[in-house]
Amino acid sequence: MDSTTTKHATVRHYIEQRIRDELSPHERLPAERMIAEDLQVNRVTVRRALEELERDGLIYRVQGSGTFVSEGRIRKSTEFTSFSEDMRSRGFEPGSMDETFTIEPAGMATGYALGVSPASPVVRLRRTRTADGRAICLEDSALPESLVPGLADGLGGLSLYTVLKDRYAIRVVRADQTIHAVVLNPAQAHALEVPEFSPALRVTRISRDAQGRPVEFAESLYRADLYAFELSVSRAPGRGQ
Amino acid sequence: MDSTTTKHATVRHYIEQRIRDELSPHERLPAERMIAEDLQVNRVTVRRALEELERDGLIYRVQGSGTFVSEGRIRKSTEFTSFSEDMRSRGFEPGSMDETFTIEPAGMATGYALGVSPASPVVRLRRTRTADGRAICLEDSALPESLVPGLADGLGGLSLYTVLKDRYAIRVVRADQTIHAVVLNPAQAHALEVPEFSPALRVTRISRDAQGRPVEFAESLYRADLYAFELSVSRAPGRGQ
DNA sequence: AAGTGGTCTAGACCACCCG
DNA sequence: GGGTGGTCTAGACCACTTT
């Protein structure tokens, strides 16, 4: 085992593997106390692993009865993913075209979203995102210049979030997104290689670091015929209507 | 206090209230051991409450330093909500028009989504959803007839999920959703009182019970000018890129 | 009655940050 | 070095389901 891995992560992986390899939906898992004894850990540690698995929808628990494998394809719960991760998980090779960096005043909307004055400079990154070489999305990203000095010199082939983490020690951990349906104007349609007035998803995103501070304000236009948003949502377990 | 309330829920509410009433973003909360002593509970119980608050983005924790209030408006993390809850949280009064129930064979797509044979009967509920009396969404909902016998007799003014819970003891706890952008055909546009070929969000939803069993397959068409999807997404805390 | 998950306690040790 | 959060243990009692 990894020396930096926690015990509950080990337990979690062990249980995940058993679910994948041996267990069918609605089959009962060993009792918590049993798992604890088998793996020589405390029951609290087992429960912590099981809680994560329950949140992700892999298992369900019935008091007095047991813990069972959930039915249905396992979709990861709503997680923040980059365009590249997103595309790869859908089986496409992500790419970028026509990347342009500029530094300009934030303006009203962007300034408001980022919590800075409209006059303060932001780094603006515009690019066309591709999947297997096909244009799929127009992205317009703005970051406060004070947070990321020198970003406009380029990403050096890395992903924006990798650069934020490695070069600026900024970890994006949360994003507030709004998803609209729109029709494309002629210029946008041309860039995405679809007929004018085709439908598209417009996603605006405010990315935040662990402290909740806005880091990025982005607007993305996705071709409706090639892209849809997928998400799993759940009620807090143990809560009523 | 409620006799059915857990201690960690009490602690959570206590901390939430302090955040609302006394603390500003980036202010430090009392140490975990301090809160535990103040409230006469164990530190583990405090930590459980803090973990929930961290997941919901209200606080962030820095090892060796402390626990702090997050910045930015607090949006509830992605939670499964009914149309009615959704509209109320946006400040509108939800309603329904033109409710029709039918019982028909599931068909290919619905049968597949619900995991039943295409020939098996489903209860189909079609309705126009309104916000403050304005048509905002066309909804087409299908449930296996075997799960909800008699549902086609009506909801009696209650919400679908309330009826599922109270009359059929089915608790919907999870849903897998897909969000598309489309343009409306003339009939749909007429029903939603917008020009033909207006954009719309098409949301398909498979609702599941705690065991992961499909309970409902629904397709909703939302007017793009009146409705947008909002969601907060986050990376698992403590994980890297 | 026995077994299961749900909650809570008391205490330990570690890793990390800060004065 | 002292304080903070992060992890883990051992054990207790409760609520619930099953036999």
Residue of A nearest to B59 (CA): A211
The nucleotide lying nearest B64 (C-alpha to C1') is D4
Instruction: Decide: A141 and A114 in contact? Cβ < 8 Å.
Output: no
Residue A97 CB neighbours (<10 A): 11
Q: Is the pLDDT of residue B2 over 60?
A: no
Strand D close to B64 by CB, under 7 A? yes
B57/B49: higher pLDDT: B49
Q: How far apart are CA B151 and CA B132, in angstroms?
A: 26
Q: What is the DSSP letter of A81?
A: -
- pLDDT (tens digit per residue) in B50-100: 999 998 889 999 989 999 999 876 566 567 788 988 899 888 999 999 999
- pLDDT (tens digit per residue) in A28-87: 999 999 999 999 999 999 999 999 999 888 999 999 999 999 987 656 666 778 898 889
Q: What is the mean pLDDT of residues B7-29?
A: 92
Rounded mean pLDDT of chain A?
Answer: 89
Residues of A in Cβ contact (< 8 Å) with B78? 77-78, 231, 233
Give nucleotides in strand C with any atom < 7 A to a protein C-beta.
Answer: 3-12, 15-18
Instruction: Decide: A173 and B235 in contact? Cβ < 8 Å.
Output: yes
A165/B contact by beta carbon, under 8 A: yes
List strand residue ranges (DSSP E) for A19-93, in order.
59-62, 66-69
Tokens of residue B150, six digits: 């008699």
Residue of A nearest to B28 (CA): A211
Residue in A176, A179, A201 closest to B232 by CB: A176
Give pLDDT, residue B74.
58
Give pLDDT, residue A1.
40
Residue B140 CA distance to nucleotide D1 C1' (Å): 66
Residue of A nearest to B241 (CA): A162
